[in-house]
A and B are shown apart, each in its own frame.
Chain A
Amino acid sequence: MQEKGGLLKRFAGTLASMRLTLIIFLTLAAVSVLGTLFPYGMTGADVHHHYPPALAWFIQTFSLHDMYRTNWFRLLLLLLCVNLIICTVQRLPKTIKLTRQRDEEFSSDKIAKFSQNFQMTTAQPVETAAASIGKVMGAQFGPLKTIGGAGKFSGLAEQGRWSSFMVYFIHLSVLIILVGAIIGSLFGFKGIMNIIEGEASNTVMLSRGHERLELPFAVRCDAFSISYYETGTPREYRSDLTILKGDEEILQTPIRVNHPLTYGGITFYQSTYGSFLTSLDLEIRDTESGRTWTKNMRMRTPETLPGTTDQIQVMDYREDIAQLGPIVIMAMLREGEEATGAYVLVNDPDFHGNRISNYHFAIQEAETARYTGLQVKSDPGVWVVYVGFSALLIGIILAYYMSHRKIWVVAEPSRQFPGRTQVTLGGRANRNPLAFEEEFQTICQGVEQELRASENKDSET
C-alpha cells in the first residue's frame, strides 16, 4: 500500500516537473516538423501513391498525413494541459507564501553588497535623513515602510509584487485557448455551399464525414462577379447574397474575400467559384458505321445510343484544364466491358482526342451556369479562443515589463565619520536588471540631491 502511494507520488511528481514541460514542448515541436513534411489532408490512397511502401506504412500507422486529428497528438496536448494544471497547483501556494513573506531586515553591510547599491554620508541626523529619503522614494518609486531600527532607520519599498502571478495568468490563457478550440470542435461545423447564380440553397456539405446539413434559412446568390486590375490579375471576387426565410427576403448583402457575412451565428466566406454544366448539345458519330446522332445531354444522366446497347454519360465539366479551354468528361458503358472515358474539348469539335472507342464526340453547344463557392462556418468557441489570445498577450507583455523590485534603505550613525549619518541603499529585481539599474540610479541621484539640498539649507540658517 505504501509502495503504491510512493509510486503514485512519483508519477504525480513527474507530471508536475518542469522537465516534462520541456520534453512536451520539444516533442510537440518535433512531431509538428514531421507533420509538415507530409501534406496535410492526403488520403490513404494518395500516401501509397506518393511514397515507397515502407514509408507509406510508417506514415499510415502513425497517421502522419492527418496527424493533428489523431488521438496520440491530442493526448500530447492533453498531457501538456495536465502538466500545466499540476504545476500551477503545486507552485501557486509557494508563490502566495513568498509574496506574503515578512519583510526581512538586512544590515547596511549586507545591503551594500546587493547587485544594485549606493552609499553616502550626510550631516543630517538619522530621522531627518530617513524622512528625506522617504520623500524621494515616495515620489519616484513607492512608499517606504519602516521595518526596524534601534538607533538607526531601516526601511523597505517594493513594486510589482504581483508580477509573480503573471505566469499563472499566461498559463490560464493557454488553457482558455484550448478550451475554446474544444468547444469549437464539439459544437461548431465547417463546410461548403456551391450556389448557382440566381438560385437559392440551404444545404451545407460538411467537410468532415461527407454529411449534409440543412440550415434553418436559405441563401440565394443573386450574382457573382470578378473584377480585374489592368495587369489582368484578379482584384475582387464578389457574391451578392440574399438570406431567405421561406419567401421572405431577410437580408441582402455582397460578400468579398476578407469580408464575410454572418447571419444567425453562421458565417459565409467567399471561397471559390466555378461553372456547372446545365445542358449539352452533343453530336455523336460512329466512325465505323458513319452513323450520327444528336442528343441533348444532362449532367450524370446516361443515354442509350439508338440501335445499340452502348450508354454514354456526361461525368463532369471543367472550366479550364491545361489551357485547353472548357472540357467535358464523357464516359461510355458497353456491355461486358469496363467503363471508358475521355476528355472532350468544348471549343474544338474536330479535336482527334474527342473520342471513346469508335465514337467521336463534337459539342455543338454547352450551356453553363456560374456558381459561387462559399465556405460556411459556425464556431461558438471562437470568442473563448479570442479571450484566451487577449489574456495571453496581456500576460506576456506584463511579464516582460513588470518585475518584483525591492529597495532597502538603512540610515545609521556613521562609524567612519562621527557625527554624520551613513545612508545605504540596496536594490534587487527578479527580472530585467537593466531597466532596474536605470531606475535605481535615478532614485539614488534624487536621494543625494535631496540630502545635499537640505544640508545647504541647514548651513544657510
Chain B
Amino acid sequence: MESSLLLSISTFGFLLSFVFYLSGLVFHRKRPLKWGSVSAWIVLVILTAGIALRWIESYQLGFGRAPLSNLYESLVFAAWSIALIYLLLELRTRYRVLGVFPLLFCFLAMAYASFSGMDSAIRPLVPALQSNWLIIHVVTCFFGYAAFTVSFGISILYLFRAAHKPNPHPKGVYALLPPLKQMDEFNYQMIFFGFIWLSLGIISGAVWANSAWGTYWSWDPKETWSLITWLVYAAILHARNIRGWRGNRVALLSLVGFGCVLFTYFGVNFLLSGLHSYGSF
C-alpha cells in the first residue's frame, strides 16, 4: 500500500462527506448529516494512515523526516487538521450541520494538492528545515488555521441565518442550524481556540528562528502577515469581551480574519518573497 493511494481515497472521501453534509443542510434531514459525520471520521482515519505511511516511506528512502515540509504536504496536513478540529467540535456540540464548510475546505485543500500538478515527491530536507522545531511550528500554526477555518464556516452560516431571522421558515434550509446565540458562542470558542494555537505557532517560529538565525523576529512577510492575522483575531476577542460585540459583527470580523489566514498561507508564498520560500513549491 502506498501513501499516495490513501491520500487519493481521502480526497474523494472528503468530497463524499461534504455532499452528505450539504444535502443534510439543504434538505434538512438528519440522516445524511449522520452519514457525513461517519464518513468524515473514516476519512480522517485513512488520511492519518496515509500521512503516517508517507513518514515511514521517507525513512525507507534513507532520510527520515516528518511529512510537513512543502506546499503539498502542508495542504494535506491542513485538510487533516480541519477535519480533526471540526469533528472534535461536533462531538462536543452535537450539531452536525456545521460540518458543511469545514469538509468543503478539507476537500478543496486535498484537491488542490492532488490536481494542480504540484510536486508531491518525498524529498529530503534542506539544512534550514532540519530541526525538531519544524514539527512543533507547523502543527501549531495549522491547528490555528484549521480552527479559524471552522470559525469561518460557522460565521457564514450565522450570517445566512441572521439575515433570515425575521421569518424563519419552520422547515427551511436553516431548520437544523443551532440557535443564533449558540452559534455565536461556538464561533467565539473556535476563534479563541485558534488564537491559542496561532500564538503557539508564532512563538515557536520565533524561538526556532532565534536558534537557527539568531533573530526571533525579522519582519519577514510571513512573520508580519501572521502577526496581522493575530492582531485581527486579538481585536475580535477584545471587542467581544470588553465592548460586548456579538453575532453579526464578530462573524464579519471572523471573515476578515480568515482572509488574513488565506493570505498568510498562500498570498505571502506566491506574491511576496522571504524566508518561508519552502512553502511555495
* Residues of A near any B CB (own CB < 8 A): 18-19, 21-22, 25-26, 28-29, 32-33, 35-37, 39-40, 68, 167, 181, 190, 229-231, 233-237, 256-258, 260, 267, 269, 271, 375-377, 379, 382, 385-386, 389, 392-393, 396-397, 400, 432-434
Contacts and interface: CB of A to CB of B under 8 A. Distances in A.
Given A18-B242, A257-B130, A231 B215 contact: no
Name the 3 nearest CB pairs between A and B, nearest first.
A377-B214, A257-B127, A36-B221
Contact of B215 (A18, A26, A377): A377
Interface of A is mostly: helix
Contacts of A167: 241
A400 B203 contact: no
Interface string B190-232: 0011011001100100110011111111011100110110011
A190 B215 contact: yes
Given A25-B234, A32-B224, A260-B211, A18 B199 contact: no
Interface of B is mostly: helix
A452 to B, nearest CB: 27
Nearest to B186: A434
A231 B124 contact: yes
14 contacts: A22-B243, A32-B231, A33-B228, A37-B272, A40-B219, A230-B62, A257-B127, A260-B211, A375-B214, A377-B214, A392-B199, A396-B195, A400-B196, A434-B189
Contacts of A19: 243
A22 B238 contact: yes
Contact of B225 (A36, A375, A389): A36
Given A26-B231, A29-B232, A68-B219, A269 B213 contact: yes
A18 B243 contact: yes
B235 interface: yes
Given A26-B231, A40-B219, A382-B216, A392 B203 contact: yes
Interface residues of B, number: 51
Contacts of B124: 229, 231, 233, 235
A35 B235 contact: no
A258 B224 contact: no
B5 interface: no
A118 B231 CA distance: 41
B239 interface: yes
Contact of A256 (B127, B213, B215): B127
B63 interface: yes
B238 A32 contact: no
Contact of A29 (B186, B200, B228): B228
B215 A386 contact: no
Given A36-B268, A397-B196, A400-B193, A258 B203 contact: no
Contacts of B203: 389, 392-393
Nearest to A167: B241
Contacts of A35: 219, 224
A33 B220 CA distance: 12
B123 A233 contact: yes
B100 to A, nearest CB: 21
